[in-house]
Structure 1
Amino acid sequence: MRVQLQNDPTARVFSQQLLDIGNGEVEFNQNTQCIRLPDNFCIVVETKNDLIETVFPDKINNYLNHNWLSNRAILAAKNVDVDLINYQIQQLLPGDIMSFKSIEATVDKDKAVNFPIEFLNSLDISGMPPHNLRLKIGSPIILLRNLNPSLTCNGTRLVIKKITGNVFEATILAGKFKGEIVL
């Protein structure tokens, strides 16, 4: 849908390549049990640090540039990988990291023995933030639940502008309301 709306030919090619992979139309090597990705599909790097530097070069000078930031993202298959990469990138940004922890209790006190705090804290559910969410001013985030339907929708990319208690003020990175501030 985004490829059609933005009418970006390179995005259209990439989208078709993803569909070809998903539909099993890419040559499969029986010996290695792997597929060969098209040459123009991606850039292969050796380490996570190389990946971060390739996607976010000169991040110290550019992380406040919303146009630069809105054109970059690292996707990962597992939440644990996303959390590690996010933490590594945030360590490189100036400022203090702030930690926000989820609630460590059950609604029914009688059932608390069935759900120990360690178990609740270890849950890493897709579509939910991690138990220990660590953020800095200037950190890019993705809106998981739409709280302001007039400006945002699930999946809107934002950048943290201000943190007050448990309220984040953020700027929308892309789309019709790019540059608008939301709470």
Structure 2
Amino acid sequence: MRLTVGSDPSAMEEIRDFSNWLLDIGEGNLGGLNDGEAIVEIPKDILINDPCDPIGSLIKFIYPSILENFNIAGEQKEYLSSDSLCQSEFVNDQFDANLYSHDVLNGVKVSGLPNHKLILKIGVPVMLLRSIDQINGLCNGTRLQVISLRKHVIEVVIISGSNIRNRNFIPRMSLTPSKNKIPFNFQRRQFPLAKCFAMTINKSQGQSLSNVGLFLKDPVSTHGQLHVALSRVQSRERLKLLISDKDGKLTNKTSNVVYKEVFRNL
């Protein structure tokens, strides 16, 4: 469905072949008989084959689209968070709050929590780190573009999903990381945003992207992860992979993890 929307009817056969290849990746039909991890060979036309500057070639493939859509100009603006320990920590008499100064709290960086210092420019792409308004498309992982930097709110436009081009205001929020990430509870008041020129495979799930450059320095390790990454793109020509082996050399093979028992009871 993602490949056929707005496509030229004359290219349907090529689209069908690419679609079938994606389905074979998702169902674990490539790489011989397997039920778990298999080695698959990636077609040469979607590989980055520049041995001199592979990362640069991948960036050049992705950035023309970014430079065309994002006019990143003007002075940058710095937003600092307000960090404090949660009141629940003071109930425990053995907890020494003096060990956790503002500098310590400001230095905490964990997944899903915005950094203490957020530096932005008008036009920069960002990702939303919390679900604010699902009906209007403001969900965790939504990609946005900054169009106005104000003191108490940041004005953004949605650049992915079904609510694309909708404008919204992002306020500061009081955010608390999960208990299993750090050994104490603290609260950070900051804009729930992170700059997003690149994202993890898991964050890309559910999105349709015009250009996809996939960097596999290490092979995937989760069921269906490779299929998720490859199926975000809207056409074969806009997909490029950069794969390196254990020695850092370019290769055309990578692992695909599919546990077929997942499909047996469907």
TM range (shorter): 0.5 to 0.7
Residues 63-102 of structure 1 mapped to structure 2, 5 A cutoff? 63-64=70-71, 93-102=72-81
- Structure 1 vs Structure 2 CA RMSD: 3.3
Q: Measure, in 1, the Cα distance between the counterparts of 2:114 and 2:20.
A: 31
Residues 107-146 of structure 1 mapped to structure 2, 5 A cutoff? 107-108=86-87, 111-146=96-131
Larger radius of gyration, structure 1 or 2? 2
Q: Measure, in 1, the Cα distance between the counterparts of 2:19 and 2:74.
A: 35
Please state if 1:103 is matched with 2:82: yes
Higher helix content, 1 or 2: 1
Q: What percent of counterpart residues are identical? A: 24
1:124 positional shift = 1.8
Which residue does 1:177 correspond to in 2? 163
Q: Measure, in 2, the Cα distance between the counterparts of 1:129 and 1:175.
A: 22
Amino acid at match of 1:149: Q
- Structure 1 consecutive aligned stretches of length 4 or more whose deviation exceeds 6 Å: none
Amino acid at match of 2:80: K
Higher strand content, 1 or 2: 2
Q: Which moved more, 1:50-59 or 1:156-165?
A: 50-59
Unmatched tracts of structure 2, length 5 or more: 5-14, 91-95, 170-266
Which residue does 2:48 correspond to in 1? 43
> 1:59–1:154: structure 2 CA closer, same or farther, 3 Å change rule?
closer
Taking structure 1 as the reference length, what is the TM-score of the superposition?
0.59
SS of alignment partner, residue 97 of structure 2 = helix
Amino acid at match of 2:164: K
Q: Measure, in 2, the Cα distance between the counterparts of 1:11 and 1:114.
A: 56
1:51 positional shift = 4.1
Deviation per CA, 1:58-92, whole angstroms, max 9, x where unpaired? Answer: 7555424xxxxxxxxxxxxxxxxxxxxxxxxxxxx
8 Å contact kept, 1:14–1:41: no
Taking structure 2 as the reference length, what is the TM-score of the superposition?
0.43
Which residue does 2:153 correspond to in 1? 167
Q: Measure, in 2, the Cα distance between the counterparts of 1:11 and 1:141.
A: 30
Which residue does 1:147 correspond to in 2? 132
Q: Measure, in 2, the Cα distance between the counterparts of 1:13 and 1:48.
A: 25
